[in-house]
A and B are shown apart, each in its own frame.
Chain A
């Protein structure tokens, strides 16, 4: 694919860098924002309920991209315990032999204070990875319920992975994650009931109105041992990116990312401040709790966040 020479992947440097970024608190992160490079990677989000086969599918997609000469990075998020804050980061186990590939990089992340299917500081982590010349970044979310839609803002293409027996889910998801997805994969098609799910999703997609030239998400049956099905998924993703290239929605995309980035840092900071408040604070009337929280939040600003150097036109 890209024949231009690029420097070899410095795993140790990137590994240390990502640990530092992941450990930055909500306020410290503002001082070390990572600039997105001019040419970013294409970003693909893989989302879906726990155990639907996201990691396994990601391995197959990564292998296909590596075979085309791409440099591929993966970020896989697993949930942190709200009590101990600990986590078992288990997605790597599914990566099999691609882990040995010189152009492949895999990073496990704990969600930490994020509750949106992603992880603290993920926006910066992806930008930092892009500085290492990745052609493609795959992002596996925490196994989502229905409400975690944040991945949409950080990636270009959202792949939703379903499996047989998620029929009730399809009903529940109509208004949420089904609407933000660009490619549907009904995985574990080797198990009974896959066709039925595919039909249900097809119905939901079919009922929606599409303007001329709008992307209509395909529904693809896939399974672990069926290489042709993974080729079909890879092809659908290529088709989506081809469609997207002619769409010129870069501005909207950049704004959505910036909005998510700001929101996620504030969210993280509020979690930190909530933990710092003496617990008796929460006996106070809600308005007072709110006031103390906002006061602390704005104290951050006064204390340490320098105003930006450039004069920005008021954008109203």
Chain B
């Protein structure tokens, strides 16, 4: 995807970037927040160490289109499952979930089975990450 099409790919989209659990690695979350903003998204960042319950509450309160979880602690299986559950309980219908961080290949299938729409590691170029998120959100509205 060229820069020109990326520029407004996420215009008008509201995306919550959240760091569940206890790890303090926030560089990736911030890099992603800025990249999504530069593609036109309105990004809310929760800050570090938020519980899945808190993240779900913020997601419904802010009426977001998507929640992006950044996890580099190795606890992504539990944290993502919990967040998805709380989102459901909080009545967040139609909210897409994305996950990034240190996610080994063997966990991709499990995360997808939870309904996660896209899973990203630092191996993927940033532009491709943004394009993939934009595409998944575009599918939602059609």
> Are B12 and A23 neighbours in the complex by a CB distance under 8 Å?
yes
> Are A12 and B90 neighbours in the complex by a CB distance under 8 Å?
yes
> Are B37 and A81 neighbours in the complex by a CB distance under 8 Å?
yes
A16 to B14, CA, bound (A): 12
The one of A15, A84, A100 in contact with B60, judged by C-beta atoms closer than 8 angstroms, is A15
> Are B61 and A88 neighbours in the complex by a CB distance under 8 Å?
no
Number of interface residues of B (CB under 8 A): 31
A80 CB → nearest B CB, Å: 7
> Are A84 and B37 neighbours in the complex by a CB distance under 8 Å?
yes
> Are A92 and B37 neighbours in the complex by a CB distance under 8 Å?
no
The stretch of A26-34, A106-114, A235-243, A256-264 that contacts the partner chain: A106-114
Given A11-B57, A15-B61, the answer on whether A84 and B44 have CB atoms closer than 8 Å is: no
> Are B39 and A12 neighbours in the complex by a CB distance under 8 Å?
no
B131 CB → nearest A CB, Å: 15
A81 to B14, CA, bound (A): 14
Residues of A near B10 (CB, < 8 A) are 86
Interface string of A88-114 (1 = CB under 8 A from B): 111011000001100001111010000
Residues of B near A93 (CB, < 8 A) are 45-47
**Is B82 an interface position by the 8 A CB rule?**
no
Residues of B near A90 (CB, < 8 A) are 45
A198 to B40, CA, bound (A): 40
Residues of A near B54 (CB, < 8 A) are 99-100
> Are B61 and A107 neighbours in the complex by a CB distance under 8 Å?
yes
The one of A12, A81, A85 in contact with B91, judged by C-beta atoms closer than 8 angstroms, is A12
**Is B58 an interface position by the 8 A CB rule?**
yes
Residues of B near A160 (CB, < 8 A) are none
A17 to B62, CA, bound (A): 10
Interfacial residues of chain A within 58-100, with CB under 8 A of chain B in the complex: 80-81, 83-90, 92-93, 99-100
> Are A86 and B38 neighbours in the complex by a CB distance under 8 Å?
yes
A108 to B59, CA, bound (A): 11
Given A86-B42, A107-B62, the answer on whether A19 and B47 have CB atoms closer than 8 Å is: no
The listed residue with most B CB atoms (<10 A of its CB), out of A15, A85, A86, A108, is: A86
B61 CB → nearest A CB, Å: 5
Interface string of A220-237 (1 = CB under 8 A from B): 000000000000000000
Interfacial residues of chain A within 1-45, with CB under 8 A of chain B in the complex: 11-19, 23
Residues of A near B90 (CB, < 8 A) are 11-12
The one of B34, B43, B57 in contact with A89, judged by C-beta atoms closer than 8 angstroms, is B43
Residues of A near B66 (CB, < 8 A) are none
Interfacial residues of chain B within 26-45, with CB under 8 A of chain A in the complex: 33-34, 36-45
> Are B63 and A84 neighbours in the complex by a CB distance under 8 Å?
no
**Is B97 an interface position by the 8 A CB rule?**
no
Residue of A nearest to B11 (CB): A85
The one of B42, B62, B91 in contact with A87, judged by C-beta atoms closer than 8 angstroms, is B42
Interfacial residues of chain A within 96-151, with CB under 8 A of chain B in the complex: 99-100, 105-108, 110
- Please give the residue numbers on chain B whose beta carbons come within 8 Å of chain A beta carbons, in ascending order: 7-8, 10-12, 14, 33-34, 36-47, 54, 57-58, 60-64, 90-92
- Please give the residue numbers on chain A whose beta carbons come within 8 Å of chain B beta carbons, in ascending order: 11-19, 23, 80-81, 83-90, 92-93, 99-100, 105-108, 110
- 12 inter-chain pairs at a CB distance below 8 angstroms, sorted by A residue, are A11-B57, A11-B90, A11-B91, A12-B60, A14-B61, A15-B60, A16-B63, A80-B42, A86-B36, A86-B41, A93-B45, A107-B63
